[in-house]
Amino acid sequence: MALLFAAIGLSSAAHAASPTVTIDSGALSGAEKDGVMSYLGIPYVAPPIGDLRWRAPQPVKAWRGVRQATEFGPVCRQTADWIKLPQSEDCVTLNVWAPARKAARPYPVLIWIHGGAFANGHGGEWGPDGGKSLVQKGVILVSINYRLGVFGFFAHPELSAEAPDHASGNQGFRDQVAALQWVRRNIAAFGGDSGRVTIAGSSAGGSSVAALTVSPLAKGLFQRGIAESGVVGPLPTKATAETAGTALGQALATPHLSDLRKLGAEDLLKQSWRSAPNLDGVVFTEQPQQSFAAGRQNKTPMLLGWNADEGLDLAPAAFGAKIVAAADYERQLQKLFGPQIPPLILAQYPGKTDAQATESTQRLVTDFIGLRHFGWATMQQKAGGPPAYLYYYVHSPAEPSADQPCYYGCKAGHTSEIRFAYGQLWREARRWNADDLALQEQMLGYWTNFVKTGDPNGPGLPKWPMFDGKPDTAQRLGSPTEIRERGAFPDFRQSLDLAAQ
């Protein structure tokens, strides 16, 4: 009998000493360490495999007995070569870290949505102890897997025809909404408050937060949002998304949906695919700007911002090379701005030499990301209602050792802020200095205060003003010296309006 339980992932009486909770689909046995309870690999929808590939999430089947929840579930199928963990289409699971000590008032909840361009990543990226810093601050952490790439953002005319709501694509976002619904139904079992839920993410995770802010399906499922280095722009139409799906089927000589569902995951992953949300009429019914203009967005406080060196990591992908040749610079700019490059762009981002062209592309990408976040915060500020808190992260942390060089997120690069905002310095064996440790305490304080109250401010922290549409009300995050030397950024209301067109 014990072997049977082990084979299906359920525990026997041997695990009775582990912390156990009961949720709507059955009982879970987790683990406890240093006052933190963890429950990993919890299925929150039915496995999207076989005939359920590309369908909207279906209810998870309840289990009998006590299910072990001490290991992460498989990573969703993807092409990232840096992820060595087991992968599967049966991957739609979540993880919970909660205080072992019960409180008189239920704990606020933070739901982490991982990044990775909607094509890569997973909810276990912080490791089995990843929630400890947040839990020590009185916050429950939930991290999620959601369908990615061609499995999470595939639209097709036959898929739209078979769906009761006649929508297709956006499966990854539907998974995220299903996770929010799971939290509403079940988080009380872990000591959490379903009425104090914050969704947070960086990069594509930040874009997910912004997108859910304008999704009718997510209405009322969260009370605050944190979008780091990612918002969402104009959405392509459902017809455009369906055309891409039809083209994929033709390329694989499987034009019909039933044939596509029979293909192995490897066959689909070999094809070039751009993961993107679409205006399907259900998950997204209008462009974000229309939602805010009409006051139909989900009205929640937002904390959002970007990093001073985003372009170090993102410009090579945007321009197709790590080093941009001066001779090719203007041709590359024409891809973004058309045959007539605005003189303002050439003046602010010159490319007379290879070094200058490379540095300009990095600044251009960084400033464009900043423009998008400045614009989103302005959109929320003009709409009235709950406030926006905008940040500009300028900190360059201690470098790793020489035998483990920094290769991504260096300086104030893309995703560099995560380790500070969520108290993750302990995960890296760097010689963290006093500025690093002080900034971690400050940012972790801001973030957890926001999760608890919708306002990042609190005792012992520098005042963070509500964003009022002016650059001066964006909070600079870094050491005093870094803020003084790097805290200025372009006046986005004038200098980069052309880039937004």
Residue numbers annotated as active site: 203, 310, 414
Residue 436's SS3 state is helix
What the block records as the tokens of 89 is: 């289409």
Q: Which contacts of 466-473 are long-range, i.e. CB under 8 A and separated by 24 or more positions?
A: 466/387, 466/388, 466/389, 467/377, 467/378, 467/380, 467/381, 467/387, 467/388, 467/389, 467/390, 468/381, 469/378, 469/381, 469/382, 471/374, 473/390
Q: 272-303: string of b/e by CB count within 10 Å (b at 16+)? A: ebebbbbbbebbbbeebeebbeeeebbebbbb
Residue 476's SS3 state is strand
Residue 107's SS3 state is strand
Phi and psi torsions of 500, nearest 5°? -85, -10
Distances, alpha carbon 305 to alpha carbons 323, 378, 390, in Å: 27, 12, 5
Residue for token pair 């017809």: 239
Q: Could you list the beta-strand ranges (E) of 180-314.
A: 192-202, 224-228, 302-307
Task: Provide the residue count of the chain.
Answer: 501
Measured in whole angstroms, the distance separating CA 386 from the mean position of its chain's CA atoms is: 22
